Amino acid sequence: MANSKLNPVTLTFANPELERKFREHYHQRAVVRFRWAMAQGVALYSIFAILDSVSVGALWPRIWFIRFAIVNPLLLVAFLLSFKKNFFVRYFQEIVSLSVLAAGGGILAMLAMIPDPALYLYSQGLMLVLIYNYTFLGLRFIRASLNCLLIILGFEIVSLRINPLTPHVFINNNFFLISANLIGMAVAYYLEKLNRDNFLHGVSLRKLAEADSLIGLLNRGFFMDDVKRFLSRSSGEEGRSAFCLLDLDRFKEINDSLGHMVGDDILMNLGQTIRRKMRASDLIGRLGGDELGFFFPEVKDEADILNIFVKLKNEFQAVTQGIEWPITFSVGCVLFGPETRDLFQCYARADRALLRAKKSRDYLIMVDSREAVIMEQKL
Whether 63 contacts 80, CB under 8 Å: no
Whether 226 contacts 218, CB under 8 Å: yes
Residues 133 and 119: their CA atoms lie apart, in Å, by: 23
Q: What integer pLDDT is reported at residue 102 of this predicted model?
A: 96
Q: What integer pLDDT is reported at residue 9 of this predicted model?
A: 87
Q: What integer pLDDT is reported at residue 134 of this predicted model?
A: 93
Q: Which residues pair with 13 in a beta bridge?
A: 6
Q: What integer pLDDT is reported at residue 209 of this predicted model?
A: 59
Sign for the pseudo-dihedral over CA of 137, 196, 218, 220: negative
**What are 52-75's pLDDT values in tens digits?**
878 888 888 999 999 999 999 999
- Residues whose CB falls within 8 Å of the CB of residue 88, separated by 6 or more in sequence, listed in order: 27, 31, 81, 82, 95
Q: What integer pLDDT is reported at residue 7 of this predicted model?
A: 87
Q: Which residues, given as ranges, of the chain have pLDDT below 70? A: 1-3, 204-213, 233-238, 280, 321-324
Residues 296 and 281: their CA atoms lie apart, in Å, by: 8
Q: What integer pLDDT is reported at residue 95 of this predicted model?
A: 95
Q: Which domains does the chain have, with CATH numbers?
A: 16-207 (no CATH), 220-378 (3.30.70.270)
Total length of the chain = 379
In percent, the amount of the chain with pLDDT more than 70 equals 92
Distance set, CA 44 to CA 118, 122, 131, 139 (Å): 19, 14, 13, 20
